[in-house]
């Protein structure tokens, strides 16, 4: 008499337990509660509107609380003073345990921003904390404009030009005056 053993996760090797296509995202370790995420985003929106912070704002785009449009004005005394940049913020369903995807929609010549609007900022990647909020993100990006990390550039030509303040300022204004939106 033959005994058949069913293949279960318990008797498979670790390699066999892994999905064959590594492109599948790992599921969130916590169950997604979109109601609590929605409540948090509504509180963050209200706090941002009441903060009185100069030069940063954001509001939901359309009906979804998970997609916002933000605005950042260049800080006083920086190469970006007097300029206003539009950003998109896409909050994941497991926010605040994962950071939002934040991109410049207005072309920005900067060492830590590429031609697609992607931003190299540690708090949006490996230094993310659930304690951060939209206000913190916008203020950090505003600060980054005046204080780039030229050791970790996404735009190497901007990083190499950073030390020549006059030429750098010209490039910032040239890109801004062109009125270009970032490439998709």
Kindly report the average pLDDT of the chain as a whole number: 86
CATH code, domain with 56 = 3.10.110.10
Phi/psi for 166 (5° steps) reads -65, -45
Q: 142 lies in a domain?
A: yes
Which tens digit of pLDDT belongs to each residue from 51-98?
988 899 999 999 999 999 999 999 999 999 999 999 999 999 999 999
Please say whether the beta carbons of 137 and 177 come within 8 A.
Answer: no
Cβ atoms within 10 Å, residue 184: 6
Q: Can you tell me the mean pLDDT for 109-119?
A: 96
Residue 16: per-residue pLDDT: 43
In Å, how far from its chain's centre is CA 171? 24
Task: Tell me which residue range forms the domain holding 87.
Answer: 34-181
Q: 46 lies in a domain?
A: yes
Q: 164 lies in a domain?
A: yes
Residue 26: per-residue pLDDT: 52
Q: 2 lies in a domain?
A: no
Band the pLDDT of 176: cuts 50, 70, 90: very high
Q: Rounded to two decimals, what is the model's pTM?
A: 0.80
Q: 133 lies in a domain?
A: yes
Q: 9 lies in a domain?
A: no
Q: Can you tell me the mean pLDDT for 152-162?
A: 95
Q: 4 lies in a domain?
A: no
Number of domain units in the chain: 1
Owner of token pair 């830590």 = 112
Q: 12 lies in a domain?
A: no
Owner of token pair 């304690």 = 131
Kindly write down the DSSP assignment for every residue of 20-72, as one continuous string: S-TTSPPPPSS---HHHHHHHHHHHHHHHHHH--TTEEEEE-TT-TTEEEEEE
- Which tokens is 178 given? 């062109």
- Which residue among the candidates 108, 120, 134, 182 is catalytic per the annotation? 120
Active site residue 134: no
Which tens digit of pLDDT belongs to each residue from 116-152?
999 999 999 999 999 999 999 999 999 999 999 999 8
């Amino acid at each position: 008499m033959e005994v058949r053993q069913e293949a279960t996760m318990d008797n498979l090797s670790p390699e066999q337990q892994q999905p064959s296509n590594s492109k599948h995202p790992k599921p969130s370790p916590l169950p997604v509660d979109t109601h609590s995420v929605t409540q948090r985003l509504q509180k963050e929106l209200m706090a941002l509107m009441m903060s009185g912070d100069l030069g940063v704002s954001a509001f939901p785009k359309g009906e979804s609380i998970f997609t916002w449009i933000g605005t950042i004005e260049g800080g006083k005394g920086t190469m970006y003073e007097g300029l206003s940049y539009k950003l998109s913020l896409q909050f994941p369903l497991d926010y605040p345990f994962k950071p939002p995807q934040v991109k410049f929609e207005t072309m920005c010549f900067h060492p830590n921003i590429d031609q697609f609007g992607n931003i190299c900022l540690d708090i949006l990647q490996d230094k993310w904390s659930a304690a951060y909020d939209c206000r913190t993100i916008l203020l950090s990006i505003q600060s980054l404009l005046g204080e780039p990390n030229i050791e970790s550039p996404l735009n190497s030509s901007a990083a190499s030009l950073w030390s020549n303040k006059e030429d750098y300022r010209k490039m910032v204004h040239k890109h801004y005056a062109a009125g270009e939106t970032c490439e998709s």
